[in-house]
Structure 1
Amino acid sequence: MPTEDCANARRDQALDWFLRVQQAPQDADLREQVAHWCAVDEANAKAYRKAQRLWQLTGQLAPTTAQQWPTPIARPVARPRRTRRWVAAAIAACLVVALAPSLLLRWQADYRTGFGETRDITLSDGSVVQLDSHSAIAVDIAGTHRDVRLLTGQAFFKVMPDKSKPFHVWTKTLQVTVTGTAFNVDSTRDNPSVAVQQGSVNVDERQAGRHLASLVPGQRLTLRADRAELSTFSPSQAAAWRQGQLIADDLPISEVLTQLRRYTPGIIVLRDAKLGAQRVTGVYDLRKPQAALQAVLQPYGAKVTAYSPWLLVLSR
């Protein structure tokens, strides 16, 4: 099964091809290259069709977050007019694609947040969960167990001690077990992490059923494709997002973008894989995601092109 990173890379490549065609519509060689790329894999062709629908959607829908995006960073590429009936059909198709995951979360989640929103929740056992932007949990607390599923995003937990009833947090790949502590869990599919501020937690890999680590304050475990990586940090920075900060300590730009996408209402497309592998160190303001994006890219001479509040393209 393809990973989230692979799917994102294919989507970004499809949008890159589409944007190049928009900029050079008379280039026959370019169109031939696109046709060949689509023919190599049906998944490529599907991603390209989605890119076309996304372009139609971003060109026709009025932004609802204009106050957060006061001026475009670059002038949008001109797009031809469509008939009203055709546009309505395109928008409907785009909305189905865009909203399907959100509708599923609404069905599964007991608590969730929107873009740029955080939320504090007190559970029935007295434990407190702080949800980050664009995050969701499902809660199951009964007489014999205390289970929370982190469906998407990340959350900070302050668990009420109860040695007779351990508290479990589940992501798609990790299980975290505690009796009473404070810790952060990030459910990112390709590099989920657990960071402890107080107390201690046991972390296990769900699919393999193996124990990964027992963490104490100031320790973070990040599960990567080939290993479980342990690192240390100041316990006060266990969940810097609670203070509106993203702290990057020699992180690839691609990982920083994963965090910033939670605070951006549209899609962020990275057109340069080599740029994504470049590393940055800094503290970025999550309350101003557009400025944070610019600050992340600036050292490498890259830029953000805003085709609308719903589509931001990063390139050099």
Structure 2
Amino acid sequence: MKSALCEQELDEPLADELTEQALQWLVDLHAGEGQSASWDDYLRWCATSPVHQQAAQTAERLWERLGSTLERPKSRRMPLLGLVLAIGLAGGSYWQAQNHGWMADERTAVGERRSVQLADGSRVELAPRTRVDIELSGTQRLVRLYAGEVFVQVAADPQRPFEIEAGNGRIRALGTAFDVRNSGNSVHLVVTEHAVRVTHGQSAQVAEVEEGQGLQYGAQWLSRPQVVDVNAATAWRRDRLVFNERPLGEVVDELRRYHSGVIWLRDDELGSLPVTGIVGTGDVMAQLQLLQQSLPLRVRQLPWLTVIERDPDRTK
């Protein structure tokens, strides 16, 4: 019988996603932002599991093929395998796998959407790069959203509340349909039918969000409900992304869910440029080329890495 970690190693979509994460680490560390502490964090990430270690080795080989030199600080040259053994891989890797949903009940790959019909009649639609655990018992119905986005249509059951656990909060359906996105640093909620109740763990605040409203929360904060464009917020269900004066950095974050490889926005100032329009999710590179025509930027595509940088021949 194979262990959970052995099964994890054989999961190709997971390995690809972790390779992209490792390459993103290298991009960030070589963009002038990587201090020694950041390298420490990277090495700890590498040591999370054997799959993380393999992904890091693959990413480092890809980085060197691009003609770039790994600029790891001399004091941080401990071999990855040695670091893995030093921290006690088995227990730590299993905890990390559980905590981050790497062995989640349902996972979607890049560009993949999936609809899951639950035994109680509820339906959960998963956006690309989404990981969830689903628990149905005699007393509750719970979806743990580790990463990504879901649209939920809840079947009525007064005896068993339906809740989504995402980040530092719980979202309870009050007979409803709603959309939840967990981006890591924050959670975004949009209600399309009836209402939901949000309980924020850190602040112990409670907010009720009505149909046509949305809110956001992070580790230590909870926004007030406000009116949102529901059709725009749920356009991903129709293979579209709708932006209205959204910063380019946020647009790129959304497009990453539909693209295999790393999209690197080199210039932080470029990330603040406003973007308005409807973007198709079927061909991310084509959409980036369209952005290149309307904004002062240029797009360079390399193996596993797409670089978006300022075009020196154009001004805003």
Whether the TM-score (by the shorter chain) exceeds 0.5 is: yes
Q: Indicate which of 169, 175, 186 corresponds to 1:174.
A: 169
Match of 1:14 among 29, 32, 36: 29
Q: Which amino acid aligns with 2:298?
A: K
- Number of aligned residue pairs: 257
Q: In structure 1, how many angstroms separate the alpha carbons of the residues matched to 2:101 and 2:165?
A: 18
Task: Decide which of 218, 223, 241 is 2:217's aligned counterpart.
Answer: 223
Distance in 1 of aligned mates of 2:278 and 2:289: 13
Task: With a CA cutoff of 8 Å and minimum separation of 6, indicate the structure with the bigger relative contact order.
Answer: 1
Does the aligned pair in 1 maintain the 2:155–2:175 contact within 8 Å? yes
Q: Offset of 1:148 from its aligned partner? A: 0.6
Q: Residue 57 of structure 1 aligns with which residue? A: 62
Determine whether 1:207 maps to 2:202: yes
SS of 1:260 mapped into structure 2:
helix
Q: Does 1:188 align with 2:188?
A: no
Alpha-carbon offset, residue 238 of structure 1 = 4.2
Decide which of 99, 114, 121 is 1:119's aligned counterpart.
114
CA contact (8 A) 2:23 2:60 kept: no
Cα-Cα RMSD: 3.6
Secondary structure of the structure 1 residue equivalent to 2:236: helix
Deviation at 1:15, TM superposition (A): 3.4
Distance 1:15 1:291, change over 3 A: farther
- Structure 2 letter corresponding to 1:223: Y
Instruction: Tell whether the 8 Å contact from 1:12 to 1:271 is kept in structure 2 after alignment.
Output: no
The residue type equivalent to 2:198 in the other structure is V
User: Is the aligned partner of 1:248 residue 2:243?
Assistant: yes
1:314 alignment partner, one of 283, 308, 313: 308
Aligned residue number for residue 266 of structure 1: 261
- Structure 1 vs Structure 2: percent identity of aligned residues? 29
In the alignment, the residues of structure 2 paired with residue 107 and residue 52 of structure 1 have an alpha-carbon distance, to the nearest angstrom, of 19
Letter in 1 for 2:212: G
CA offset at residue 123 of structure 1? 0.8
Amino acid at match of 1:300: L
Aligned match of 2:314? none
SS of 1:126's equivalent in the other structure is coil
Q: Do residues 232 (structure 1) and 216 (structure 2) align? A: no
Structure 2: how far apart are the matches of 1:131 and 1:202?
A: 21
Q: Which amino acid aligns with 2:38?
A: A
Matched with 1:140 is 135
Displacement after TM superposition at 1:205 (Å) = 1.7
Shift of the alpha carbon at 1:219?
0.9
Q: TM-score, normalised by structure 2?
A: 0.70
- The amino acid that maps onto 2:129 is H
Change over 3 Å in CA distance of 1:275–1:55 after alignment to 2: farther
After superposition, the C-alpha distances for 1:212-248 in whole angstroms (9 at most, x for unaligned) are x311221111226765154423444441101001111
The residue number in structure 2 matching 1:23 is: none
CA contact (8 A) 1:58 1:307 kept: no
Q: Which amino acid in 1 is paired with 2:29?
A: A
SS of 1:273's partner is coil
Give the CA deviation at 1:296. 3.9
Q: Secondary structure at the match of 2:275?
A: strand
Determine if the alignment matches structure 1 residue 283 to structure 2 residue 288: no
Inter-CA distance 103–266: structure 2 relative to 1 (3 Å threshold):
farther
Taking a change above 3 Å as real, the CA distance of residues 300 and 226 of structure 1, as seen in their structure-2 partners, is farther
Q: Which amino acid aligns with 1:15?
A: H
Q: Cα offset for 1:253?
A: 1.6
**Aligned mates of 1:149, 1:226 — CA distance in 2:** 20
Q: TM-score, normalised by structure 1?
A: 0.70
Kept in 2, the 8 Å contact 1:13–1:271? The answer is no
The AA in structure 2 aligned to 1:245 is R
Change (3 A) 1:254 1:170: same
- Report how far residue 254 of structure 1 moved: 1.7
Distance change >3 Å, CA 198–CA 54, structure 1 → 2: same
**SS state at 1:164 partner:** coil
The partner residue of 1:198 within 193, 198, 201 is 193
Instruction: Check the 8 A contact 1:176/1:202 in 2, yes or no.
Output: yes
SS of 1:124's equivalent?
coil
5+ long unaligned stretches in structure 2: 1-21, 47-55, 70-78, 83-92, 311-316
Structure 1 stretch 119-128 or stretch 172-181: which is displaced more? Answer: 172-181
Residue by residue over 1:62-113, the C-alpha shift from the partner in whole angstroms, topping out at 9 and shown as x without a partner, is xxxxxxxxxxxxxxx6579xxxxxxxxx9x99xxxxxx89966675311111
Pair 16,151 (structure 1): closer, same or farther in 2 beyond 3 Å:
same
Q: Which amino acid aligns with 2:145?
A: L
User: What is the one-letter code of the residue matched to 2:204?
Assistant: G
